[in-house]
Chain A
Amino acid sequence: MTPLLQVKGIEKLYGARIGCADVTFDLYPGEVMGIVGESGSGKSTLLNCLAGHLVPDAGQVIFDTRANGPVDTVTMSEPERRMLSRTDWAFVHQHVRDGLRMSVSAGGNIGERLMAVGDRRYGDIRDKAIDWLGRVEIEAARVDDRPTAFSGGMQQRLQIARNLVTGPRLVFMDEPTGGLDVSVQARLLDLLRGLVREMGLSAIIVTHDLAVVRLLADRLMVMKDGHVVEAGLTDQVLDDPQHAYTQLLVSSVLQV
């Protein structure tokens, strides 16, 4: 089977400092990869390099496109890359304000990607928006409300609906549960797990919350100072950490 995403030797430098270096992994269709590590370990830099928001200084990000098979997205032309990020890719931001248009209604937010790929029937766009609101457990009656009128958890669910409406194959998530209280987090994780399984999505989730990766991720990479220090199956890494830093990370989780 061809991997959906092949990452080869990705390196990003900020001047003399290392953002992330020498990251290599494959992601197969339907697989969820977790990336954990402390603040400043290069998780977000890596995610932004993969999603095309940052240009890496070295390495390849090969995505298995629908039309042309595996293509390096780093050297791909910008229109093609932006087209990918509107159709086959999705990016869920930690801060919903980065991912939603706060002055546009929920329906408009969900419809934007549809209209960007050429949907020109209002009725269809609205039906799909209402359908997706239902899938992320937001009442259909809220379709004309702006995200500013939503709670934090609803905003995050709306952002997920807006991203998944075009049926992407790969989802990048940057701390999707950051800033939400634990009960809302639990519902969001439940929802995400359902959607990922139901749609057969592949996902790369960056987080510092080990519970999130335990629930969602099949595989796990642990990062420290820009390097991957340990990688493997999630349960294996969390239950039997080998690297000193991973051991520290796992033992730092508060037991209630």
Chain B
Amino acid sequence: MSAYNFAYLDEQTKRMIRRAILKGLAIPGYQVPFASREMPMPYGWGTGGVQVSAATLTPEDTLKVIDQGADDTTNAVSIRKFFEKTAGVETTEETEKATVIQTRHRIPEAKLREDQIIVYQVPIPEPLRFLEPRETETRKMHSLEEYGLMHVKLYEDISQHGAISTAYAYPVKVCGRYVMDPSPIPKFDNPKLEMDAIQLFGAGREQRIYAVPPHTRVVSLDFEDYPFEATKADHPCDLCGAEDSYLDEVIMDDAGNRMFVCSDTDYCRSRREAGHMGRLAEENAA
């Protein structure tokens, strides 16, 4: 594809995005505005993540794209194909082999390494948005570190449901300073936000980039008497038997039968290849 520059975006745009990424890494959790471009996909399909990936990729990189943990869903497949076409980089489904991982709504189960970069697609980067609709006001709240409002949301959760019911996009405080929306990952993944890899967050429609450098302290907000809990469905995976992975619930029929499977398809596949078996593994194979 010589009609496109490497990884679709022109070099000036990539420089602009890289500057935003570097600034984001220098101020962990701070939302850096950037001039988001029109991408050949609709807003909400990961235009922010794609731009960050495009600015991050080099010809030697190996790319993995996941959507809700799966490598084979529409969003993941089309973004992977997009970069195969426009950048000609190698792609993989194996977390281990990837150097750049673009993700929507999950962090892979396998521990990420220092030489890897994970790029999140972010729909709404502002954690205070639903409580305070004015951008001028939320910016001021960030700059003055006025985060009482975030706890009002958690208070409302407890008073209505008896527990903190926020299950995804659970707010975190990065490096003791900025409160950040970790994108709509399940709160099960929140403890993994303290990792060895570089984490970049891109919001295309909202035109914001933010980042968490490796080994940065990331604390999930909570109350002293209602501490943060990373929750998941209380089952083992029905295919690979894993008890430590985040599960999707799949309705099997009209009679109320259901199965739980790892949302991280690569993790589940590698476990099955290693001989682990879950409750429904054999009939599935047959």
Contact = CB atoms under 8 A, between A and B. Distances in A.
Contacts of A107: 155, 159
Contact of B225 (A79, A104, A112, A122): A122
Size class of the B contact interface (CB-based, 8 Å): 10 to 19
A144 B159 contact: yes
Given A115-B148, A115-B151, A116-B146, A105 B224 contact: no
Contacts of B144: 78-79, 82
Contacts of A79: 144
A181 to B, nearest CB: 31
A117 B148 CA distance: 7
Contact of B223 (A78, A86, A117, A120): A120
B148 A116 contact: yes
A122 B158 contact: yes
The 7 closest A-B pairs by CB, nearest first: A116-B148, A115-B151, A115-B148, A122-B223, A121-B224, A79-B144, A108-B152
A120 B224 contact: yes
A154 to B, nearest CB: 18
13 contacts: A78-B144, A79-B144, A82-B146, A86-B148, A101-B152, A105-B159, A108-B156, A111-B155, A112-B152, A113-B148, A115-B149, A115-B152, A122-B226
Interface of A: 78-79, 82, 86, 101, 104-105, 107-108, 111-113, 115-117, 120-123, 125-126, 143-144
Given A78-B144, A82-B144, A82-B146, A105 B225 contact: no
A144 B160 contact: yes
Given A120-B223, A120-B224, A125 B146 contact: no
B155 A125 contact: yes
Residue among A79, A105, A120, A122 with most chain B CB within 10 A:
A122
Interface of B: 131, 144, 146, 148-149, 151-152, 155-156, 158-160, 223-226
Given A82-B146, A126-B159, 10 more contacts: A79-B144, A101-B131, A104-B152, A107-B159, A108-B155, A115-B149, A121-B224, A122-B155, A123-B225, A144-B159
Nearest to B145: A79
B223 to A, nearest CB: 4
B139 to A, nearest CB: 13
A108 B159 contact: yes
Contacts of B131: 101, 104
Contacts of A111: 152, 155
A105 B156 contact: yes
Nearest to B149: A112
A61 B183 CA distance: 44
A163 to B, nearest CB: 14
**Which of B146, B149, B152, B224 counts the most A-chain CB atoms under 10 A from its CB?**
B152
Nearest to A146: B156
A120 B219 CA distance: 14
A201 B225 CA distance: 33
